[in-house]
């Protein structure tokens, strides 16, 4: 039995506003392949009187927090946050998947959920001669855990650094001092740890007088922009910075890239924050590249199933993988390169291509890598 | 565009006088409002049409007998009589912008000539020193160059100027930059392109240290301001409160006459509504046991505060004209600052910002009545 | 010679309503001692004929020049007593009421303090009465003509009604033809009859009515004056003309919601996705999409309505029935096509609507409760992804024709028209009516009325009803031939006014304007409702509201703010104290 | 139109006959009278005001109903162009458009309206004081045999209830008439007889209003069996300050903790041959749920519905607000109400949960639908009007002829033509007034030329 009080949750998340219209479940990518049904959860919370039993509701961990439900709700209810809240109840009672427990402890101790040592964080960039961030530098480049430690994702960070240097951007990094932004910690329901990290990081950035920040991952960008306490810091995703540079002609591509590319909108860039055009502007500026759009793009992009802590959770129905569906769609669209702008998408789509052994027909690359190739 | 006016052997005033003269000679302007030097070193505000008279012009005189906004309002009314110029300090320009919003003046046909304002002294103190207050013009400009307080030999700037946060006249069409001025490089001036061609000036950017000096002056003024306002607010909340501050008020209404924002033809307190009948005073006294005679002294101050606190630009004229030396300007700035913050309104910033009382938002002031 | 007030005070028992908690006798006796009072009486029912006769006899015999009645709220019987005093040649504005019922006896227990409060209220009315000035209620003649803005069904119906009643009407229509949105319809619910002849009859009457002048490709450029005497500038083609009218009816209609603002529904991207207005056109010819007759038709409700995220929280009221009607048309034209309707609530509320909705389902239209989340492409078909909330599971419905039931939105140029006529807009962006329940066609501006969807989404029946209601209200000033100009309105003292315009910005009725040459503000007595907001806003105290002047109000405040208990005047009142006859 | 219409109170000139003194009749009469024509307003009950006077608050603005209705009643009662016939009914109508002749039966009040000031002393003295159930309060309040329906009645004249008064039913009432002795104005007169008045009218407006569905026709909901099952009109009277409980929502002195509202009782119900939607109940329930939430701290309120029809201006926003305040809307049409211990249980299927549910309730409120007047058939015959298949008066055309009836010159206003809420009723009544004004303006011109001719 895992009984919780339903009424306080209905008030905290304004669930009474819900008119049960089903738009959330209708668009939810996980509802097609698992028992996850946001609308039904809300109704069961509303009608549960005081006791609501979380026992056996594993599908709550299937949610990828892609925010399709919350972004489309006509009554501005937030089913995604409600699910995150319910995950908090699991965490409080210690009932979490072992992978999640390890990831949370690792973040607490090592400042990253990948159980990697803190003093290795800056290692990827040791030969790139990057500047330690000091007050007065225009940008803080916040690298993020996956691009710092994961070999495949490190390539993205390196490409991005090359681009920034080429465009003469004044930026610095925190190297080993950089701490996890806590985005996935909050999505996994560990609100306490997240708030502690948010305060700590904010103090660090305030101490350093950071005015502008750019991130590799849309998840870090989203958490600094929407979840952190207002600290007067202007945060941008790197595709926004690159799009600006391309437009101001401060970054030109001399090389050629004769490839048909299709762009997968990462949920935390598109659906969460409405950034659809900047990534496409960068791709369009690459000489020789032809851009094709998949049907499910922009607001209708299909989630790669990597967000919301799903990098550490298989989910209740691993037989069907959204990433594989996405790869098929890319192939159908006639693309040779599946471009994206998020380390999680990169890894999950890359794995899906390997799983469908389609490496010869389709390459998964980050926009930073494509842009760097075309320099 | 930015240009510089040549200065022969360091005489900044002469250069400015020449510039103003050329404005009239070239026909760019028919008349210019600018203070003229008069007997005893006084600087008397005047409307000059003869270029020759510009020889006595002294816009740098660190004194402000009247707030120029009042003069320009009278001069322009609903429509400027012709191509007129006005040499104005920042607080005069900002007051004028408020008057335009109150339909008491217009900027059509008016060319505002703004000066960086290092500050002004009280008129009597300035007169006592035959115009040499603060060691005369040279020391005054030197203080402006280094961003120091030009006060010296026991004489300090008017408190309003010591705490002024807008020494630069940003809204003016022509802007003279005096902070960080190195006369040898000429006076940096911002002029509209058309006028520059007419007068034969070409673009030239002087990389003066103005910005740094301006920052220094602002920092000093901000510190002085915070201290002064905190003091007067403490007094307001002490026993006796706000009314006690006006115990010395003698109802001369000088502050109302000098204030650029008080535009009423006849103040309510001078109209028939306030010459009460005898039994009014008696019954009021019977009610309260004792009645301050004449009963409307405090009501006048509160009503004036209510009418103009949103537009108070902090020029300090009210303090300067108060015979009882009540810090009226300080009190009105302390209240005005809070009122303006509450409406997110900065008087004199731009014509586009509507007056707070004229705008209505459906869900404004939801917390009225509850203790903050 | 100086004016000496001779005031009569009449305190009413109102049966037991006042007498139960207020010592009416004590109040009457106390009032007798007030300055200027020559007679003080009390009576059980002052509003009755004998009560009024008391006043009239005293005016004649004692030469009263001011009268105060202490009884109920002025809203109840001020007109009654004003008529009574003017019947004996005392100016109606020399009469003042003290409300000692709603503001005293009905809200306080029977106690000494209640009587004292009544005394204060009477004393305050007497103090004001001494300062009252006679005022005249003028009548302003009205021009027996009307202007209607908008040539849709609302505008035409309103114009026809006023013209039928015998008045000249000018109708201004922006486009080149009459009919508005109804002109684009093919069939209408709940009778499924063709709209062509329905509308045709009205357009026919409108174009051939002897007293109705229709100006197409025309628009109103300026409106001056006030109720009964508007002068309107109209641009017709490229020449201008001026028209003088007594009333204006706004029937400017609505815009269709742009479905592109819900990108995930694929409008403008997938050719298979059209809107209900577009289907209405399509249904008049061959129903073909991509060259072939659709087999699976899906309707989606509430596109752009009931959607706070898009700033359209309101219901557009007509789309449920439009969808039902079009579903029937599809069943009629494509018998073997499957028709599904995705809905949240089916709002078939009007007469015959629920029966029509039943018949639609019986005709084989499948209603599924769910608000579709997105449309995706699958081969040559489009797939509607939604949750069937009654099945409790997400579903994917293939379709080769998807029809979006788009809502109604305020017209893009509402701002311009609102500025022209100084009309307010409600939070949903449509024009705001004076009172949502009891004055649905009036606006805050006297003489300007609303008809049709410009005030909020409506179907044809309700549009016709509201148009005729607007016509009826507009006919009143035209038929009376005059408009009563209330006397208690604002007046500007030109000596004090500095022309700063603060009063104009506060006045919601647009009654204050800057005099073109004198640079002082001028108040329009017809538009002014006497609310007094301008008087409080004026820094110079230059504005006074007649009958509520600064001195009169200060006199009342002086009495009321005198908190000492009113003591019975020891000296015998020289006024005659009469007990009830 | 050149010459001014010679109408007004000089007797000549066309007049309108308005049957029914509810908000529809009042609004139509005021518009016609304001335009300068005469109106005969006939109301069957002792006071004008109709159903609206029984309401506490109105949606979506939550105005108090009497605050916005009373001024209009006073205006109608006092308007020089309106002849008010209350406690009267039209018994016969002849003639045709422009020239109708109607006979009005003025029922005896046994009280002289000229003398009575509505002071209420007679009611206090009456032997049956507090023993007659008040139909104004939907049978919940008590009154005497002599009464005014509600304090703001217009005209404020008392009426002796012929079926209740001991003297009128049994010929004698104790040794002395307690009421007559108490009356200081000498207004009580038991010899009063009914009077017939003939009036002419150019046009007739039928604004006879509606009745409310009797939920005992749905026995499984337990109305009439369980005292804590009431109709929405009864709930309105409980919530009203002038009602039997002065606004306290209670039947037995205690505040109900759990309330369940049931929509569509007697509407959208083909089994009772009531297929139509009564249009107003969704918003009425939303408003009542809000009132319950406001006045009963910690109340748990559930509304069972099929479709929520919040279609009017500001309705959806009001519906959003009520849900936001914590009223739980559950989709399902309850099939029965049972007693379990001292509480009631509402059994229904929550069709979104897809399973049957039982909800406990201290108070069950049935949103009863709108029915045509019981005597609609006889009124129709008297006026020569047709009724539609649901028993409401048939309009000439559902889209463009909504105020005209099948008989030229006779117009329809308000709920007699079909269920409407207050704003739609006011618009409909004003539309009828417009048609009437057109008719009278044309009759006016005919009479003027006729006069000129002879």
The pLDDT score that the predictor gives to residue B131 is 64
Of A40, A75, A92, the domain-final residue: A92
Asked if residue C373 has pLDDT above 90, the reply is yes
| Contacts B283 to C, Cβ<8 Å | 558, 562
Same domain, A125 and A230: yes
**Shortest alpha-carbon distance between residue D288 and chain A (Å):** 17
The pLDDT score that the predictor gives to residue C564 is 62
DSSP B77-99: TTS-SSSEEEEE-HHHHHHHHHH
**Shortest alpha-carbon distance between residue A45 and chain D (Å):** 11
Neighbours of chain B (3+ CB pairs under 8 A): C
Domain containing residue C503: CATH number = 3.30.70.20
Same domain, C156 and C94: no
Same domain, A84 and A173: no
The pLDDT score that the predictor gives to residue B362 is 62
- C-alpha closest to that of D364 among D228, D252, D263: D228
Of A49, A66, A92, the domain-final residue: A92
What are the pLDDT digits (tens) for B243-254? Answer: 888 888 888 999
pLDDT-based confidence at D270, cuts 50/70/90? confident
- Touching, D vs B (3+ Cβ pairs under 8 A): no
Percent of chain C predicted with pLDDT > 70: 96
| Lookup: tokens for D79 | 């308007």
Report the relative pairing of strands C401-406 and C273-275 from DSSP bridges: parallel
Structural domain includes residue C499: yes
| Lookup: tokens for A270 | 């598109």
Domain containing residue A366: CATH number = 3.40.50.10700
Same domain, A103 and A126: yes
Of A38, A68, A92, the domain-final residue: A92
Residue of C nearest to B269 (CA): C540
Same domain, C528 and C550: no
Domain containing residue C330: CATH number = 3.50.50
| Contacts C562 to B, Cβ<8 Å | 283, 287
As to burial, measured by CB atoms within 10 angstroms (0-12 exposed, 13-18 middle, 19+ buried), residue C407 is buried
Structural domain includes residue C303: yes
- C-alpha closest to that of A112 among A123, A124, A103: A103
| Contacts C376 to A, Cβ<8 Å | 295-296, 300
Q: Between the CA of residue D85 and those of A194, B354, D39, D89, D198, what are the distances in Å? A: 76, 57, 11, 8, 12
pLDDT-based confidence at C579, cuts 50/70/90? very low
| Lookup: tokens for D34 | 């304001």
What SS3 class is residue C186?
coil
Per residue of chain B (372 residues), what is the pLDDT tens digit? 888 888 888 888 888 898 899 889 888 889 999 999 887 778 899 999 998 889 889 888 888 999 999 999 988 877 778 889 999 999 999 999 999 998 889 988 899 999 989 889 888 888 887 766 656 777 888 888 888 888 777 788 899 999 999 998 888 989 988 888 887 878 888 888 888 888 888 877 666 678 888 888 899 999 999 999 999 989 888 877 888 888 888 889 999 999 999 988 888 888 777 778 887 788 788 878 888 887 778 889 999 998 888 899 999 999 999 999 899 999 999 999 988 988 889 999 988 888 888 777 666 666 655 444
Q: Which of residues 385-444 of C touch A (CB under 8 A)?
A: 385-389, 392-396
Domain containing residue A150: CATH number = 3.40.50
Percent of chain D predicted with pLDDT > 70: 95
Of A68, A76, A298, the CB nearest to C373: A68
pLDDT-based confidence at C581, cuts 50/70/90? very low
Residue A327 has φ and ψ, to the nearest 5°, of -60, -45
Residues 6+ apart with CB under 8 A from D321: D290
Give, in degrees to the nearest 5, the angle at Cα A354 between A349 and A360: 105
* Sign of the Cα pseudo-torsion (D25, D28, D34, D38, in order): negative
Q: What's the average model confidence in pLDDT over C195-207?
A: 92
* Sign of the Cα pseudo-torsion (A148, A149, A152, A158, in order): positive
**Shortest alpha-carbon distance between residue D290 and chain A (Å):** 14
Structural domain includes residue C472: yes
Residue of B nearest to C561 (CA): B287
Same domain, C274 and C389: yes
The pLDDT score that the predictor gives to residue C67 is 96
Domain containing residue C156: CATH number = 3.50.50.60
**Shortest alpha-carbon distance between residue C188 and chain A (Å):** 28
Residue of C nearest to A74 (CA): C307
Interface contact C539, partner B, CB < 8 A: yes
Of D23, D31, D388, the CB nearest to C473: D31
DSSP C86-122: HHTT--GGGEEEEE-IIIIITTS-SSHHHHHHHHHHH
Q: Whole domain around residue C344: which residue ranges?
A: 260-395
Domain containing residue A42: CATH number = 1.10.1060.10
What are the pLDDT digits (tens) for C536-570? Answer: 889 888 999 999 998 899 889 888 877 665 554 44
Interface contact C519, partner B, CB < 8 A: yes
The pLDDT score that the predictor gives to residue D218 is 86
| Contacts A73 to C, Cβ<8 Å | 309
Instruction: Report how many Cβ contacts below 8 Å link chain A to chain C.
Output: 83
Residue of C nearest to B307 (CA): C539
Same domain, C60 and C153: no
pLDDT-based confidence at C157, cuts 50/70/90? very high
How far apart CA B314 and CA C511 sit, in angstroms, is 35
Same domain, A205 and A132: yes
How far apart CA B112 and CA A140 sit, in angstroms, is 44
How far apart CA B362 and CA A232 sit, in angstroms, is 29
| Contacts C34 to B, Cβ<8 Å | none
What are the pLDDT digits (tens) for D320-375? Answer: 999 999 999 999 988 888 888 888 999 888 889 888 889 999 999 999 999 999 99
Interface contact C500, partner B, CB < 8 A: yes
- Touching, A vs D (3+ Cβ pairs under 8 A): yes
Same domain, C353 and C322: yes
Same domain, C186 and C270: no
- C-alpha closest to that of C92 among C131, C137, C48, C60: C137
Structural domain includes residue C479: yes
- Touching, C vs D (3+ Cβ pairs under 8 A): yes
Which of A6, A15, A16, A50 is the best substitution to test chain D (most D C-beta atoms within 10 A)? Answer: A16
Beta-carbon separation of A14 and D353 below 8 A: no
The pLDDT score that the predictor gives to residue D12 is 58
Q: Whole domain around residue A44: which residue ranges?
A: 3-92
Structural domains of chain C, count: 4
Beta-carbon separation of A14 and D324 below 8 A: yes
Interface contact A43, partner D, CB < 8 A: yes
Structural domains of chain A, count: 3
What SS3 class is residue B50?
coil
Same domain, C344 and C360: yes
Same domain, A39 and A130: no
Structural domain includes residue C477: yes
The pLDDT score that the predictor gives to residue B45 is 92
Least confident of B212-216, C13-17, C498-502, D314-318: C13-17
Report the relative pairing of strands C247-250 and C448-450 from DSSP bridges: parallel
Which of A292, A300, A303 is the best substitution to test chain C (most C C-beta atoms within 10 A)? Answer: A300
Same domain, A214 and A111: yes
How far apart CA B339 and CA B354 sit, in angstroms, is 15
Beta-carbon separation of C475 and D426 below 8 A: no
The pLDDT score that the predictor gives to residue B82 is 85
Q: How far apart are the first and last CA of chain B?
A: 48
Between C240 and B183, name the one with better pLDDT. C240
**What is the residue-averaged pLDDT of chain C?**
90
Same domain, C349 and C318: yes
Q: Check: CB of residue B312 under 8 Å from CB of residue B333.
A: yes
Interface contact D349, partner A, CB < 8 A: no
Same domain, C15 and C64: yes
Of C483, C511, C534, the domain-final residue: C483
Per residue of chain A (375 residues), what is the pLDDT tens digit? 788 999 899 989 999 899 888 889 988 999 888 999 999 999 999 888 778 999 989 999 999 999 999 988 888 899 999 999 999 999 998 899 999 999 999 999 999 999 999 999 999 998 898 999 998 899 999 999 999 999 999 999 999 999 999 999 999 999 999 999 999 999 999 999 999 999 999 999 999 989 999 999 999 999 999 999 887 889 999 999 999 999 999 999 988 899 999 999 999 999 999 999 999 999 999 999 999 999 888 988 999 999 999 999 998 999 989 999 999 999 999 999 999 999 999 999 999 999 999 999 999 999 999 999 998
The pLDDT score that the predictor gives to residue B199 is 81
What are the pLDDT digits (tens) for D364-409? Answer: 999 999 999 999 999 999 999 999 999 999 999 999 999 999 999 9
Which residues make beta-bridge pairs with C293?
none
What SS3 class is residue C387?
strand
Looking at this predicted complex, what is its ipTM? Answer: 0.72
Same domain, C384 and C272: yes
Interface contact D326, partner A, CB < 8 A: yes
Structural domain includes residue C1: no
Of A25, A296, A298, the CB nearest to C394: A25
Same domain, C129 and C37: yes
Same domain, A263 and A353: yes
Which residue is it, tokens 């109302």? B256
| Lookup: tokens for A238 | 């790197």
Give start and end residues of each alpha helix (H) in C455-501. 460-480
| Contacts C480 to D, Cβ<8 Å | 34-36
Same domain, A193 and A281: no
Interface contact D331, partner A, CB < 8 A: yes
Same domain, A25 and A118: no
- C-alpha closest to that of C337 among C373, C379, C289, C304: C289
Same domain, A238 and A105: yes
The pLDDT score that the predictor gives to residue D7 is 39
Same domain, A263 and A356: yes
Beta-carbon separation of A16 and D325 below 8 A: yes
Same domain, A191 and A275: no
The pLDDT score that the predictor gives to residue B123 is 87
**Shortest alpha-carbon distance between residue C490 and chain D (Å):** 25
Residue of D nearest to A43 (CA): D353
The pLDDT score that the predictor gives to residue B12 is 85
């Amino acid at each position: 039995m895992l009984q919780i009080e339903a009424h306080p949750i209905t008030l905290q998340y304004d669930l009474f506003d819900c008119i049960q219209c089903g738009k959330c479940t209708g668009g939810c990518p996980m509802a097609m392949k698992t028992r996850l049904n946001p609308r039904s959860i809300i109704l069961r919370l509303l009608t549960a009187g005081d006791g609501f039993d979380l026992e056996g509701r594993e599908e709550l961990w299937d949610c990828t927090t892609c925010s399709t439900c919350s972004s489309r709700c006509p009554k501005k209810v937030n089913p995604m946050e409600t699910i995150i809240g319910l995950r908090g109840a699991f965490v409080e009672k210690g009932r979490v998947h072992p992978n999640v427990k390890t990831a949370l402890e690792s973040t607490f101790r090592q400042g990253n959920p990948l159980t990697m040592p803190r003093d290795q964080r800056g290692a990827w960039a040791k030969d790139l001669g990057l500047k330690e961030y000091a007050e007065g530098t225009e940008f803080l480049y916040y690298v993020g855990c996956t691009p710092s430690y994961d070999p495949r994702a490190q390539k993205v960070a390196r490409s991005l650094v090359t681009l920034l240097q080429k465009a003469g951007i004044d930026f610095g990094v925190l190297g080993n001092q950089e701490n996890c932004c806590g985005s996935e910690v909050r999505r996994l329901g560990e609100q306490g740890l997240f708030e502690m990290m948010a305060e700590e990081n904010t103090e660090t950035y305030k101490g350093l007088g950071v005015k502008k920040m750019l991130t590799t991952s849309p998840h870090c960008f989203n958490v600094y922009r929407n979840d952190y306490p207002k600290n007067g810091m202007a945060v941008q995703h790197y595709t926004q910075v690159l799009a600006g540079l391309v437009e101001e002609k401060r970054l030109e591509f001399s090389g050629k890239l004769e490839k048909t590319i299709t762009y997968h909108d990462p949920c935390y860039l598109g659906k969460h924050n409405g950034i659809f055009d900047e990534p496409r502007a960068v791709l369009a500026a690459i000489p020789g590249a032809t851009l094709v759009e998949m049907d499910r793009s922009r607001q209708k992009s299909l989630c790669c199933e990597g967000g919301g802590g799903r990098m550490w959770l298989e989910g209740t129905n691993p037989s069907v993988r959204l990433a594989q569906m996405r790869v098929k769609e890319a192939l159908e669209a006639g693309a040779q390169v599946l471009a994206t702008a998020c380390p999680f998408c990169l890894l999950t789509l890359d794995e899906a291509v390997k799983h469908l052994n389609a490496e010869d027909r389709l390459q998964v690359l980050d926009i930073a890598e494509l842009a760097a190739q075309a320099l | 565009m930015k240009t510089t006016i040549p200065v022969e052997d360091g005489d900044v005033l002469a250069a400015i006088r020449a510039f103003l003269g050329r404005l009239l000679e070239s026909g760019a302007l028919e008349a210019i409002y600018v203070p003229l030097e008069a007997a005893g070193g006084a600087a008397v505000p005047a409307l000059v049409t003869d270029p020759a008279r510009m020889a006595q012009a002294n816009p740098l005189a660190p004194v402000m007998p009247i707030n120029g906004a009042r003069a320009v309002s009278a001069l322009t009314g609903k429509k400027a009589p012709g191509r007129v110029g006005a040499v104005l300090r920042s607080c005069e320009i900002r007051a004028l912008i408020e008057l335009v919003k109150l339909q008491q003046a217009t900027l059509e046909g008016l060319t505002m000539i703004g000066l960086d304002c290092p500050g002004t002294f009280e008129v009597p103190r300035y007169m006592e020193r035959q115009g040499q207050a603060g060691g005369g013009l040279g020391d005054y400009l030197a203080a402006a160059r280094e961003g120091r307080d030009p006060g010296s030999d026991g004489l300090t700037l008017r408190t309003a100027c010591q705490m002024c946060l807008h020494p630069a006249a940003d809204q003016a069409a022509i802007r003279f930059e005096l902070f960080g001025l190195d006369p040898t490089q000429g006076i940096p001036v911002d002029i509209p392109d058309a006028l520059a061609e007419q007068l034969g000036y070409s673009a030239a950017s002087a990389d003066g240290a103005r910005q740094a000096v301006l920052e220094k002056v602002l920092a000093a003024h901000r510190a002085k301001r915070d201290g002064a306002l905190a003091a007067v607010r403490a007094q307001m909340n002490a026993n006796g409160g706000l009314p006690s501050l006006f115990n010395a008020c003698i109802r001369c209404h000088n502050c109302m006459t000098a204030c650029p924002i008080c535009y009423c033809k006849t103040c309510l307190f001078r109209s028939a509504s306030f010459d009460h009948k005898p039994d009014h005073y008696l019954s009021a006294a019977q009610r309260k046991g004792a009645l301050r005679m004449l009963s409307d002294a405090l009501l006048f101050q509160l009503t004036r505060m209510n009418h103009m606190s949103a537009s108070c630009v902090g020029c300090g004229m009210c303090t300067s004209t108060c015979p009882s030396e009540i810090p009226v300007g300080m009190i009105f700035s302390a209240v005005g600052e809070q009122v303006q913050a509450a409406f997110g309104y900065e008087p004199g910033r731009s014509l586009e910002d509507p007056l707070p009382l004229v705008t209505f938002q459906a869900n404004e002031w939801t917390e009225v009545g509850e203790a903050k | 010679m100086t004016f000496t007030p001779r005031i009569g005070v009449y305190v009413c028992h109102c049966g037991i309503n006042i007498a139960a908690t207020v010592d009416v006798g004590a109040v009457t006796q106390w009032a007798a001692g007030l300055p200027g009072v020559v007679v003080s009486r009390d009576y059980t029912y002052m509003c009755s004929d004998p009560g009024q006769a008391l006043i009239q006899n005293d005016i004649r015999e004692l030469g009263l020049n001011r009268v105060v009645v202490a009884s109920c709220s002025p809203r109840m019987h001020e007109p009654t007593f004003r008529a009574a005093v003017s019947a004996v040649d005392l100016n109606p504005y020399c009469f003042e009421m003290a409300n000692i019922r709603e503001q005293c006896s009905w809200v306080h227990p029977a106690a000494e303090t209640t009587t004292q409060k009544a005394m204060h209220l009477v004393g305050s009315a007497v103090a004001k009465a001494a300062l009252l000035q006679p005022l005249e209620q003028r009548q302003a003649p009205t021009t027996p003509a009307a202007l209607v803005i908008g040539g849709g069904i609302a505008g035409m119906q309103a114009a026809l009604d006023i013209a039928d009643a015998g008045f000249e009407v000018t109708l201004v229509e922006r486009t080149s033809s009459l009919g508005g949105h109804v002109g684009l319809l093919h069939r209408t619910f709940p009778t499924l009859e063709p709209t062509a002849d329905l509308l045709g009859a009205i357009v026919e009457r409108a174009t051939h009515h002897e007293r109705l002048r229709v100006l197409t490709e025309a628009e109103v450029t300026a409106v001056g004056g006030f109720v009964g005497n508007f002068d309107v500038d109209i641009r017709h083609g490229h020449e201008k003309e001026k028209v003088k009218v007594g009333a204006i009816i706004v029937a400017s209609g609505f815009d269709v919601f742009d479905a592109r603002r819900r990108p995930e529904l694929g409008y403008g991207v997938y050719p298979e996705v059209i809107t209900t207005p577009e289907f209405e056109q399509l249904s008049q010819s061959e129903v073909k999409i991509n060259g072939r007759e659709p087999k699976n038709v899906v309707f989606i409700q509430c596109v752009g309505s009931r959607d706070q995220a898009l700033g359209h929280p309101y219901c557009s009221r007509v789309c449920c029935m439009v969808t039902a009607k079009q579903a029937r048309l599809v069943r009629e034209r494509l018998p073997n096509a499957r028709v599904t309707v995705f809905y949240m609530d089916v709002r078939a509320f009007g007469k015959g609507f629920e029966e029509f909705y039943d018949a639609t389902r019986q005709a084989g239209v499948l209603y599924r409760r769910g608000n579709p989340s997105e449309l995706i492409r699958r081969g040559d078909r489009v797939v509607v992804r939604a949750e069937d909330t009654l099945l409790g599971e997400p579903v994917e419905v293939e379709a080769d024709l998807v029809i979006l039931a788009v809502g109604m939105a305020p017209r893009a140029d509402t701002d311009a028209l609102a500025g022209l006529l100084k009309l307010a807009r409600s939070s949903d962006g449509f024009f705001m009516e004076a009172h949502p329940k009891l004055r649905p066609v009036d606006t805050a501006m006297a003489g300007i009325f609303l008809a049709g969807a410009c005030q909020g989404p409506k179907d044809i029946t309700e549009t016709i009803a509201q148009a005729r209601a607007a016509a009826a209200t507009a006919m009143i000033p035209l038929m009376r031939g005059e408009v009563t100009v209330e006397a208690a309105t604002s007046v500007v003292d030109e000596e004090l006014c500095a022309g700063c315009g603060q009063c104009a910005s506060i006045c919601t009725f647009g009654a204050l304007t800057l005099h073109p040459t004198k640079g002082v503000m001028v108040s329009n007595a017809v538009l002014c409702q006497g609310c007094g907001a301008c008087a409080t806003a004026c820094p110079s105290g230059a504005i006074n509201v007649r009958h509520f002047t600064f001195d009169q109000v200060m006199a009342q405040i002086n009495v009321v703010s005198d908190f000492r208990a009113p003591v019975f005047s020891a000296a015998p009142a020289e006024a005659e104290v009469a007990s009830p006859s | 139109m050149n010459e001014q219409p010679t109408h007004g109170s000089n007797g000549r000139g066309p007049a309108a006959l308005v049957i029914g003194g509810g908000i529809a009749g009042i609004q139509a009469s005021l518009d016609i009278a304001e335009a300068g024509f005469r109106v005969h307003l006939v109301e069957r009950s002792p006071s004008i005001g109709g159903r609206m006077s029984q309401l506490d608050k109105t949606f979506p603005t939550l105005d108090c109903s009497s605050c916005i209705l009373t001024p209009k009643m006073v205006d109608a009662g006092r308007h020089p162009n309106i002849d008010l016939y209350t406690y009267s009914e039209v018994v016969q109508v002849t003639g045709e458009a422009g020239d109708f002749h109607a006979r009005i039966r003025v029922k005896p009040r046994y009280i002289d309206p000229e003398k009575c000031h509505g002071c209420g002393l007679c009611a206090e003295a009456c032997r049956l004081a507090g023993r007659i159930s008040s139909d104004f309060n939907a049978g919940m309040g008590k009154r005497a045999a002599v009464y005014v329906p509600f304090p703001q009645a217009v005209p404020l004249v008392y009426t002796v209830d012929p079926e209740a008064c001991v003297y009128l039913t049994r010929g004698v009432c104790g040794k002395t008439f307690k009421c007559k002795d108490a009356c200081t104005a000498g207004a009580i007169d038991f010899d009063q007889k009914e009077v017939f008045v003939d009036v002419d009218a150019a046009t007739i407006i039928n604004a006879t209003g509606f009745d409310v569905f009797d939920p005992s026709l749905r026995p499984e909901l337990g109305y009439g069996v369980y005292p804590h099952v009431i109709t929405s009109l009864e709930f309105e009277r409980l919530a009203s300050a002038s009602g039997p409980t002065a606004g306290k929502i209670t039947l037995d002195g205690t505040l109900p903790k759990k309330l369940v509202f049931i929509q569509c009782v007697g509407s959208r119900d083909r089994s009772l041959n009531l297929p139509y939607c009564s249009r107003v109940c969704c918003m009425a329930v939303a408003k009542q749920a809000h009132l319950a939430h406001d006045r009963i701290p910690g109340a748990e309120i559930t509304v069972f519905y099929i479709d929520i029809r919040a279609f009017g201006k500001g309705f959806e926003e009001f519906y959003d607000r009520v849900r936001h305040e914590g009223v739980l809307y559950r989709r399902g049409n309850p099939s029965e109400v049972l007693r379990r211990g001292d509480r009631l249980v509402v059994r229904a299927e929550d069709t979104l949960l897809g399973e049957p549910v039982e909800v406990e309730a201290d108070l069950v409120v049935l949103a009863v639908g709108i029915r045509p007047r019981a005597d609609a058939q006889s009124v129709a015959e008297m006026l020569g009007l047709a009724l539609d298949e649901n028993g409401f008066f048939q309009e000439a055309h559902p889209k463009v002829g909504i105020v005209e009836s099948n008989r030229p010159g006779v117009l329809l206003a308000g709920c007699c033509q079909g269920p409407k809420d207050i704003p739609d009723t006011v618009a409909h009544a004003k539309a009828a007034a417009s048609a009437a004004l057109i008719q009278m303006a044309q009759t006016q011109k005919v009479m003027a030329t006729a006069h000129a001719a002879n």
